[in-house]
Structure 1
Amino acid sequence: MTDPAVDWSPADNPHAIAVSEAQWWQRTAQLAIRRLQDPDDDRISWFSSRQIDARQLIFALRQLLNAEQLVQAALEDLGVDEAVRDALGRARLQYETSLPGLKHIRDALMHFDEWARGKGRGPQKRRVDSGVSLRQVAGDYWGFAYDPDAGTISLGPYRIRVDVVEESVARLSDAIYLAARAIDQRKALDLKFQVLEALAASGIPCNASDTPIRVILGRDCRVWLSLAREPDAGADISPAQRIIEALRSINVGVVSMTRPDDLDLAGRLTAGEALACQTNSG
């Protein structure tokens, strides 16, 4: 159940959702591979547990591609450097090449009600359109199986080697993470410019040698705000309050990463703590 006091949506940071999902599905694939290497689980009667795990592996592998598409959409929405998008696209192509027929195998499993009749999309439809009978097409794209001796998962004409799966998944997952980090960097850079402009508009100089206010972009992709001079005991907090008010005018807040529940942000800024800037929701 969602807390109505928390204004949060996955739509705010879809690339972060993509990274999380990619990591979950990567671990799901790893677990399935480990189980394929073990004997069948005797708690399952009449069915091979490894055949079940092979099916789950296919779904996990296909979900990685959904995560890649989510990051690509976020890259496009933000207008991130096309080189980042191209690099992620190349990673996807390499992934699909190393796992031939993945999409079609997954589609056959997901839409077995159509593929069993030769009415699936993609390769089945093309064969039917070329004049091949539905019955023949259905038989040509059937027979999902994991072969422990050959170390392959197959369906119809498609074969995936299990021994290449883990490395392929790791490469694509890494590419998704790097692309998402580029998004974080772009968003943080935009936020830094907004902060600098807001402070300048309020007559608050910063980042100069003769001013105490610093606004920097950290390696953690956060924008950090600080008063660089060593504060005196009992220092006036009005400069810090002016800074906070200037940022509030552009819907940007600051937060203490050491004491996030502390509401005396001006006091913490005056005390010499660097605060993280963040865009307020709503």
Structure 2
Amino acid sequence: MEVTKAVIPAAGFGTRFLPVTKAQPKEMMPVLDKPTIQYVVEEAVEAGIDDILIITGRGKQAIERHFDKSYELEEELEADGKLDRLDRVQEIADLADIHYVRQKEREGLGDAVLYARKHVGDEPFALLLGDTIIENDRGCTETLIKQAEEYESSVLSLERVPCEQVPSYGVADVDGSASADGSFPVTDFVEKPPQEEAPSNLAITGRYVLTPQIFELLAETEKGVGGELQLTDAIRQLDHVRGVELAGDRYDIGNIPSWLQANIEMAIRHDDGEMNEAVEALLKEQFV
């Protein structure tokens, strides 16, 4: 089982960031000096994937422009001798072979994934949500791919969340404790359950490796919570699913507090010493 393709859904409205997302995709919200979706694409590339399909929607043209070449900008940077910035701009367009398809109606994550069926074909694929950044020493997607190839099954990244947050997530029911490699069988999923009915506090965190069986199951699945086609409802019907508990930090850029947290924490960890010092000085000035 070899994973060579990635799918990144990026068609949502981003209503929690209105009015800024009225004209700008939430996936283009900047974290430090890069838009959120660039971190996601880079994670896929670091996992060895260079064939990426982004599911967009109406008003998402900025995403395509970001990963396209910008001849006028490159010429100006070269003429001004700003070669380090020129390199960074050119690297974006050369990251991977990026394709696009537009989700015509926003009918849920499951519906968005179905739009990838023709591109992915009869192959396993990585699925990365376009508004979620995961920072760790070893890439989350790379870890999932290794697990999927070892067990010949679909694999999901899971995170233990506070119990009061469980109703905001798809939650996994796991079978026993984790194996030596940190993974465990998943027996069922529940989409956004009431806290008292949740089988665990292990939430799906926006990274998956799925077998192509998921497309057939999605096509047969009826709309669920919120009147949308829920990916979780199809995943629970897969023959074999394993979960891996997330290592590192996850930032949901779809909400303002997490976006602010990402900017602050990632700035402190950034390899730019001048930025580190500036952020630390600002925090001390404001809060110490």
If the length of structure 2 is used for normalisation, what is the TM-score?
0.26
Looking at secondary structure, tell me which structure has more helix per residue: 1
- For the pair shown, the structure with the greater C-alpha radius of gyration is 1
Using structure 1 for the length normalisation, give the TM-score.
0.27
